[in-house]
Structure 1
Amino acid sequence: MQIEVALAQGELPTIYTNQATVRRSGQPIISFPITVLDIPTKTRFLALSLIDYDAVPRTAFPFIHWLAANIPVTNEIPEDFSRLFLGPQGQNTWTSRFYHLNEPYFKAHYAGPNPPDQLHHYTLSVYALNASLNLQNGFYYNNFLAQLDTHAIAMNQLTIPAS
């Protein structure tokens, strides 16, 4: 399985990052398009995660920007998918008790890259699933990972720079 994301000058286009004009509570909310190729034939659904491991020195933990499960099999996850998708999406780090962003929207949607200090590298993981995951909107990353153990038949990752 292969995944691709179009970059502009080697980085995620600014319409999906901290320079976006479409925002909610100061956070970018338009998710970027993702191309998925060579999907295994036994795939029934896709799932994805977007994690910023470069946040660790600043926050002491990776920053979760997006979790989505039970995506119908497709070669193109379109722009703004997060706001349009009716399937389960998980909580991102803005909902953590360590942040004071009182915005229920982020319990089940994309919150784009918003690095506070320098270029960060975001890890996009796309999973091919043999069955749907038993998750509801607002699920946690640990529940997502536990179910991937038994349902992921393929996975690929892509590092996406954004400043």
Structure 2
Amino acid sequence: MRCSTSKRCSARCFPNVASVLRYGNGMAFGGFRGNRQSVIWKWQFTRKCLRKLPFNARVLGVNKKRTGDTVRDTGTMLVSADFNTIPEQYAKNAPDDARVDGVPCVSFPFYIDHLNPAAKYLHWEFSDPDSIPVCGFEWIHWTMANLPVAALMFDPSDAHALQIPPDFSRRVTAMIPEAVQGRNSQASPLYGQDQRNLQLVAHYTGPQPPDKDHGYVLQIWGTTSPIAGLEQGFWLNEMLHGLEHSQVVDGGGITLIGKC
């Protein structure tokens, strides 16, 4: 998340505000928008309400560390982008050469700042909670696992030292073969797609909301080691189960708008 005063701000402003909360019933939401004052108020209100929730809720990707009688969040990651609305070339109005079988396939760029140095591997999920009223489930657009932080380019002179470049989904396998991508919702048996077409069913697919603008959630986790047992074309639940048995030392997220 970034405040509305700057397009590319490297300041660490409330890094957990845009974190995603996932509840036992599978609902997910995240990413407050508005001016800085309203963001502060909403986050304080949310933190206060979380203590009263009768069911288990946690900030995905952020472990709790107990020191004596005190429990504190260990997440410091700040996820940001140069836009609030996903640009057309990565979404519904992508040109023909940026599509596979008619589906947008060029992934958008984003930044990861203030990453905990103990985090050696990155994993993420990009999904659409607003698709639930449309199709009955949260649409998965992109999953990535076991991406070594050391394999990413660092530019000490740039305000954003850790960058995920455009079209990373299509390029990462050749550049960083140990990183794996999971199946998206195009792989659902409900849609009858060819499961061997991994460019479609196991890579980034861009937003194409049919009814109205949707809020798309990018959630990232940092772990000390890779998740064991994941191969190209894994399912999201396999990654989530793997995270439960991993040492997650950092996490963060951002909500972006996909135009109808």
The TM tier, using the shorter chain, reads over 0.9
Task: State the partner residue of 1:37.
Answer: 113
Task: State the partner residue of 2:142.
Answer: 66
Task: State the partner residue of 2:257.
Answer: 161
* Residues 45-99 of structure 1: per-residue CA shift (max 9 Å, x gap): 1111101000000111100000001112141111111001122100000010111
Q: 2:193 aligns with which of 101, 104, 128?
A: 101
| Secondary structure in 1 matching 2:133 | helix
TM-score (norm 2): 0.60
Partner Cα separation in structure 2 for residue 146 and residue 153 of structure 1: 16
Cα RMSD, aligned residues only: 1.2
Task: State the partner residue of 1:113.
Answer: 207
Contact 2:215–2:257 under 8 Å retained in 1:
yes
Tell me which moved more, 68-77 or 35-44: 68-77
Q: Name the one with the larger strand percent.
A: 1
User: Which structure's CA Rg is the greater one?
Assistant: 2
Q: Which runs of 4+ in 1 moved over 4 A?
A: none
Q: CA deviation at 1:3?
A: 0.5
| Secondary structure in 2 matching 1:85 | helix
* Residues 132-163 of structure 1: per-residue CA shift (max 9 Å, x gap): 11210000011010111232221111111111
Tell me which moved more, 84-93 or 144-153: 144-153
* Residues 22-46 of structure 1: per-residue CA shift (max 9 Å, x gap): 1011111100111000010111111
TM-score (norm 1): 0.94
| Secondary structure in 2 matching 1:133 | coil
% identical aligned pairs: 32
Contact 2:106–2:167 under 8 Å retained in 1:
yes
Number of residue-to-residue matches in the alignment: 161
Q: What pairs with 1:123-138 in structure 2 (closer than 5 Å)? A: 123-134=217-228, 135-138=230-233
Contact 1:6–1:12 under 8 Å retained in 2:
no
Tell me which moved more, 69-78 or 136-145: 69-78
Partner Cα separation in structure 2 for residue 132 and residue 98 of structure 1: 31
Partner Cα separation in structure 2 for residue 47 and residue 77 of structure 1: 12
| Secondary structure in 1 matching 2:183 | coil
List alignment gaps of at least 5 residues for structure 2: 1-76, 153-161, 174-178
